[in-house]
Amino acid sequence: MLFWLLALLILCGFLWNYKRQLKITNITDKYIFITGCDTGFGNLAARTFDKKGFHVIAACLTESGSTALKAETSERLHTVLLDVTDPENVKRAAQWVKNQVGEKGLWGLINNAGILGVLAPNDWLTVEDYREPVEVNLFGLISVTLNMLPLVKKARGRIVNVSSIGGRLAFGGGGYSPSKYAVEGFNDSLRRDMKAFGVHVACIEPGLFKTNLSDPEKAAEKKLAIWKHLSPDIKQQYGESYIKKSLEKLKGTASFVNMDLSQVVECMDHALTSIFPKTRYAAGKDAKTFWIPLSHMPAVLQDFLLLKQKVELANPKAV
């Protein structure tokens, strides 16, 4: 009996794995649109999907990013200049994409553009510090999606939202985590709404990868700039040694980042080309072995482990 149960389990595992490997055909007929292609995941994705034969429309924030990408890719790849926070720019880009794709529609939309904003304790910040990451990561993503949706519906295609482990666990203060938690919420409701149209919506949750966004020196600079303008009260509560140690800790993250960005692009690839794409993809060792499992644990355990990483305050009773 035990033998047959084991054999059945192995067979199910094999079939599950086989199903996950089934791929769509006619890639060379399909158009995909990717935001934030100047650098990082978006840039690698644009180059990778161009090599695979897709018609890639790569949205770049800067002229220089667009020129550099064009120089490295085939004539099939087109770029558009796009600031996802500018509604008129988004509308124009969607119209341009509509003219390009015609009756085929848009097979893939990869919402990748994003920024980190300031990473610092919440009681150091003003509401303005939250606005920029929320504008780019959330409203920008929603704006691009809503404008491209008719084209994706036409192709019965795929939408891939790049979230973060910061959308599952809030590892620091500032607008990044709130924006990514909200991306997860938008992603989930959109996935259910689009089911009837045959559009698949997937979410990617990368751990910490080495890109411009995660540059610890830049994050430390921003944190220090905020510290310098804090009130004497807050400075007394946290103490001079706090800022020194926390900046060192921040810079220390450089030693354990994931270096291979292709892990994220492979998730995008599966979400676009598998006949049975997943709803969520975790990318990076830290995401798979620590952050995602921890996000399913009780809050008391999450707090215990995350608070252990924090630098102690000098004088929290000085309020």
Ligand X SMILES: NC(=O)c1ccc[n+]([C@@H]2O[C@H](COP(=O)([O-])OP(=O)(O)OC[C@H]3O[C@@H](n4cnc5c(N)ncnc54)[C@H](OP(=O)(O)O)[C@@H]3O)[C@@H](O)[C@H]2O)c1
Residues binding ligand X (CB under 6 A) = 35-36, 38-42, 61-62, 65, 82-85, 112-115, 136, 140, 162, 164, 206, 208-209, 211-214
Rounded to a whole number of angstroms, the minimum distance from the CB of residue 136 to ligand X is: 4
Measure Cα distances from 100 to 33, 57, 69, 148 in Å: 11, 9, 19, 13
Rounded to a whole number of angstroms, the minimum distance from the CB of residue 318 to ligand X is: 35
* Residue 28 identity: T
Which of residues 39 and 100 has its CB atom nearest to ligand X in the complex?
Answer: 39
Note whether 201 and 148 are within 8 A (CB).
no
Rounded to a whole number of angstroms, the minimum distance from the CB of residue 208 to ligand X is: 5
What is the end-to-end Cα distance of the chain in Å, rounded? Answer: 67
Q: Take residue 290 and report the two structure tokens written for it.
A: 């620590």
Give the active site residue among 31, 176, 242, 281. Answer: 176
Whole-angstrom distance, CA of residue 306 vs CA of residue 319: 24
Which of residues 85 and 100 has its CB atom nearest to ligand X in the complex?
Answer: 85
Which of residues 95 and 212 has its CB atom nearest to ligand X in the complex?
Answer: 212
Any residues with CB less than 8 A from the CB of 43 and at least 6 apart, and which?
Answer: 37, 65, 69
Rounded to a whole number of angstroms, the minimum distance from the CB of residue 231 to ligand X is: 31
Quick one: how far is CA 36 from the chain centroid? 11
Which of residues 138 and 243 has its CB atom nearest to ligand X in the complex?
Answer: 138
Strand order, beta sheet including 158-162: 78-81, 55-60, 31-34, 108-111, 158-162, 200-206, 280-283
238 is a catalytic site residue: no
Rounded to a whole number of angstroms, the minimum distance from the CB of residue 134 to ligand X is: 12
- How do strand 31-34 and strand 55-60 relate by DSSP bridges? parallel
What is the secondary structure of 29-72 as a DSSP string?
Answer: G-EEEES--SSHHHHHHHHHHHHHT-EEEEEESSHHHHHHHHHH
Which of residues 163 and 273 has its CB atom nearest to ligand X in the complex?
Answer: 163
Give me the active site residues, please.
176
